[in-house]
Amino acid sequence: MMRILIIEDEPLVAKDLERLLGQLQPDVNIVGVLSSIVSGRKWFAQHPIPDLIFSDIRLADGVSFELFESLKINCPVIFTTAYDEYALRAFKLNSIDYLLKPIDVNELSNALNKFKNIKDSRALEGQLHSLLAKWKDQPEKRYKERFLTLHRNAMVPINESEIAYFHKQELIHVHTISGEKYIAEHQTLDEIESLVNPAVFFRVNRQYLVHIQSVGKIKTTHKGLTLELKANTPVEVDISREKAAAFKEWVA
């Protein structure tokens, strides 16, 4: 029986991956579904290494590479990501597969076949560490500090320090600390999330990407957390149980 660990902070994505794996590999055993680097460290401290890991690159509390850097991994890792970014070039060079979201069942099947053909765990460990080394050697990423927005048929630049949060409705809106509301030039929150500093911005759910300066009261609920955003007009947003631990670590 193939033992697979899933590291993914979007519950719906994780469930869909479980479903596809069950279709392609009936004897699969999902040994865990983790949502953060914090939960990953705890899990690996208490469980044996699985046969295969599916790991998202960007998690709520950082980049999953940080988790693998500190661990001795002797099983293959198939990375999943919504961003076709610089790191993916290294995956191909090091024969560690990756899948772009939304995950295609045929690409998933090919990745599983590739896993079955790999026998040498020492080679796998070397490949992963080679990838991590390449990632560390990349020039330090510069995060976006100014956003061009639209307001009344005019373009308005907004500094990152002025932003309270991004909100996805039909369009992406930029809300400032002083209470203004602008239309973002970018089309998706995923795109904006890939551009901003994860130490400053946190994706609390599918609709909100919040600046740390806008964090107000945090209440515990049966669903997870409710966060009050500080702005000219306060807003309350829900944070799921899956993201609650990562959020509390980020904001502390």
Whether pTM exceeds 0.75: no
Neighbouring residues of 116: CB distance < 8 A, sequence distance ≥ 6: none
**Better-scored residue on pLDDT, 195 or 233:** 195
Q: What is the pLDDT of residue 102?
A: 79
Which residue, among 210, 157, 207, 208, has the nearest Cα to 184 in the 3D structure? 157
pLDDT of residue 53: 92
**For 133-145, how does the pLDDT look when each residue is reduced to its tens digit (9 = 90+)?**
665 665 556 788 8
Contact 36, 48 (CB under 8 A): no
User: Could you give the residue range(s) of every CATH 3.40.50.2300 domain in the chain?
Assistant: 3-137
- Note the helical H segments in the chain: 11-24, 37-46, 65-69, 87-93, 105-117, 121-137, 189-195, 241-251
Q: What is the pLDDT of residues 73-109, one digit of tens each?
A: 777 888 887 765 545 544 543 446 778 777 889 989 9
CATH class of 3-137: alpha beta
Give me the CATH code for the 146-251 domain, please. Answer: 2.40.50.1020
Which residues in the chain are classed under CATH 2.40.50.1020? 146-251
> Residue 9 — very low, low, confident or very high, per pLDDT cuts 50/70/90?
confident
